[in-house]
Amino acid sequence: MPKVYTPAELAEAVRRVRAGEIIQNKASLDYKIPKMTLSDNVNGKVSSSSPGCKPVLSDEQESTFARVLIDLADQGFGLPKGLVKVKVAPPPRTGLLVRAGIRAS
């Protein structure tokens, strides 16, 4: 079912429930927000961060990397997208040995 409420409506519903102006079931019906979504937000079980993984590169690093790739492509040394993704991917979570360049056998 698609989301039919805005973040502002969710924030308003959470504020009203926390202030005791309205109960969760009534807020859920009035604002058309699923009961569990509203409950999770009222009880602080949901963080306000954006979905997805955190960026591997900062904005400055990303723009520098993009410029270098474009310059290389202009000179005839373009890299395939798959290789670029591998080079930019975060290190695997297998411990310090991989980060140090030591492979466990």
Rg of the chain taking only CA atoms, in angstroms: 23
Residue 48: which of 16, 74, 10, 81 has the closest Cα?
Answer: 10
pLDDT at residue 95 in the model: 55
Structural domains in the chain (count)? 2
Contact 31, 65 (CB under 8 A): no
Both structure tokens of 7: 């973040």
| 65 and 95 fall within a common domain | yes
Number of neighbouring beta carbons within 10 Å of residue 70: 11
For 92, the domain range is 59-99
* Tens digits of residue pLDDT in 38-80: 999 999 998 766 777 788 888 898 889 889 989 999 999 988 8
Whether 1 maps to a domain, the answer reads no
The predicted model scores a pTM of 0.49
The CA distance from 58 to 2, in Å, is 32
| 31 and 63 fall within a common domain | no
Whether 94 maps to a domain, the answer reads yes
Whether 52 maps to a domain, the answer reads no
Whether 16 maps to a domain, the answer reads yes
